[in-house]
Structure 1
């Protein structure tokens, strides 16, 4: 703020001029506004100080107040000198040090508020107080006429914050056949929530064109406040700008406290282009925010910066303007730029860019580049976490049709407008900014599914995945079947199931239920295990592809045993008793002219023998055709072991005949019988 020096000091020495208390029931029936004329006859007493550089008067008692400012008659006049105040804390009665009131000249409303506007300093939040002293210190210059101290008591101190609520809603739109969600309004305290006094707002709100520039201010009300008192400060600012300065309403479109809480400012609708009173010469086609505090040297809290970026993106993005861009605007007239002067401004500008002021303070002004980047950034870190109802295989997602993509991103939700879901380039679904999933149903065939995040600034980021909708189940190229396999035969017989299946979507898994149970990987083609002898066993093999299509096939088989006693014998066979053999005995032969044969109807057969270190080989014939040899030797005795198997695609009548080979040094063989599947 500009200041000249006056060798003048003054304090109010007359009784306060009190206006009717209006607003939120002030504590103890204390007035909303107290005024102390300083330049009226008898209203101020000038006394030369001993050092010749300052004149001052003693402090005075007042009714309770929390915000102080100085106003004067002519809004175009400059408040020469440095205006200082000190106040007395209610309760402790301690006096503060002298504090400077910041001034802008001329008035920032640009005449939009009517003829009753007064010039004024920025108000200073001092908290609950009951005494004041004021002075003007400096060099040469005249004091403006009608100079007075204004004290505002917005309500009782430390009033708890009211609940948060969205300030307004925009109507949902449509993009083609897909309805768009309501554009999200930044979460804020509405005027009713922070307790705006609507009775002092006498004129209707004015409206302007689309937002071309967003101005950032600080209130210069000081930093000595808690966020619980922020609503009181906003009420005080409204009362000061209306009752003291003569404006129609609070001048800013929005306010933000150090904790990032957003307050709805000037009445007229958050989602509308309300004409404010904030930046002389550039109130038209503009919006504004004021951060509560003094940021000439104090750091700007990160929460406040993010809220400012959100508001800027919301207002500029809603008008289709890039927050990180620039614009040329014609000045409406002011001390820095004459009327009609075309000025190049950042879309997000500081108050000082358009006027002769320090606002929003050096520290805050240095942060505007960061705020522009945040407000104008594209959504960051967008990725598909997974797609429910689909599986990833061979670089593509496979689904039967219904699917739910789930996504996330690193950009805060408050900076996002919405998420759009496209299928093959066509918008099919749009979701609110807090949503991270969408439900789709695809027609059979290959598709491209894209999730596009839309920033409040209207910049976008997109992630895309290929998806195939497939409703055809896997095809069994070889139906499930069962065959006897290697192992031990007794009350159960070893059986191996086998199958072959294929699918364009690839096999995800195979599930076997019934006599055997297992869930297997899609690449597995067989499963072995024991099943009871003499009882039917049923299996169901179900193949599922990556899209979730399933095909199942069931079949039933019964393992049966033909012992050696049931065989047709040739040559010399001797009984070999033993509890380890089937039925307690087996048959042993050494001559190559000895033979056993079994005839049965079935799909699979297995030769069951006893094995020893001296057992020889057996020649095997099926339906008269030589099949080869089975070696029955083992390092230690084994009983009821399968040493040879054969399977057929269909059930049929077959004859299996065996005879010892007469192996040198181990010519004997021990045979338990033949197992088969019917």
Structure 2
């Protein structure tokens, strides 16, 4: 946003920058917009939106207005604390005819500023958002820093002042932990190398492989001591430097690290850069540049208030990027940037009545990029930034007034990368031009007007405004040239030296990295490898692989490719160093199971239980036969020959560590003849029975009892169409009733098994004399020690 060209831009901006004086503003009325319909998808408000972690507070002061000229003075008064202010009025298309000035009292010094001019906002929505009855007209918001007093004076002229004048005072809230506005810890949600940039929150440890937030770019200049804690300087243009732990190296556990953090496209400087690159010739190629979207602070990171967001519209593409400036102030610390963004959202929604913050992206003077309007940084979200040219465009607004301030190389590199990424997604080259149609009328073009613009253009190219300020506007050719000087096609291949599980790679100690990139080597300055935000090494431009030695624990690894222009792209992964073998938690046990038994085969189940400190892979069985079991395996079913069997199993983790275990268990067959008989039992001979014979009884109450010492048992029966039911007792207590009927004859069937405590046990069967099929044929009992 910035000054309408018709209102004396230079004078107004100079007064604002100087913090005093008077600027005479002549604001013409705007006609109601005529909207040209475009295809959009409307997303309704989220009814389950969470409250923001940092809440803003809007306080208003009603101002009486004259309908026929006249002056209005708001004398100095004490207020609740605020940091951003603006003046709004009821009719969004009305315009004050006169001057509006404010002065504020600093919380820090208690001193009053000089008079500062406010000017009518020159950004706004189109379509349904423009027709919202909650809309109000308003001035540009002004960032004044922590203040607790305000005064205003309005000099009416000509047609006078609009109705419903209101002074809006916004408190951006306080960061947790007493860190000051905008300076909190940051965390990562993506690598930024797979179709999206790295989101930056300002609340947790960074992790490039996660899928919700990142810290600022890890740099060798970051020299703070505590890991993942942002620090703030007192310089006017200070920025938070990401703090990182030193990477220690020993012969046994090198590169001790904890949580991953991908690099961000900012520097570790404490003040905004002051130099800008010289303008390079703009390439004439129309080939799209498939650049990576740069790292950014996501909405959660700057504590956007999602509860106030109204319906959001999504277009179909991004055909041009508008460059704006907020024109709020140049006198801010970069640690305040998140607070400024929060305040602008509150002003745009609660004061202007828009659906959300107007811009798609905001960028501070230190190069920190912020996600703007809700909907996703790589989605064609319809903003409220360039009236008549909001649908199927994107807008980035640099925090500051570049009518007076100079641009710098960091700002320009980020704008160039945003342009390349957003336009390249839709196969547009950022250095090309396009003919567009005004969707509604503004101060410069009528609705339906055809305009040929550069795909990276300033706000003034679309409307009657000085935005983005003469100094930033003059740098647009250089920005276009930078936009095609990007790292493209950077991809990280699967690491070597271990194995992956759940998106994390596990190694014992050494991990091999390899990557590919489509940018010619001659255009690459170098590669940089970061481990947990600390630069680990700087491979040459020709390198495509590296080996890292890691200590135990979880690490983020980021490979950054740096272009000769200074722009960069990065990809990351999470690697876990693990030198600890799995632990057996409950040993192994062998239990008999149901099935067919013989003198040479007994069905058994081997139970296993092990865990790992990082990622368990499974078991490898080598005896009595080979088998591979997965990480979720709790048992293994097999058959063994009755007698003593050795079971040898190795528990493995994903990194390759292993711990073996072995047990020896005996399976014994007790023939029916070894049981104590109660009543008459008849011997049945058939080669299908164990040792060719079995015992049969039909009379109710007949019993067989076995006594043994062991920990698992199975009763064997022959099942026929005439077989009846039998009751089973263990150590004198009835535990089950089993029906032995079968449509086909089946011999030596374990139809009942029981795991027991190790020791001496007594198992008895009792014939129940089932009507019509009373016979029970016992093949004996099997037990295991």
* TM norm structure 2: 0.38
TM-score (norm 1): 0.44
- Of structures 1 and 2, the larger Rg is shown by 1
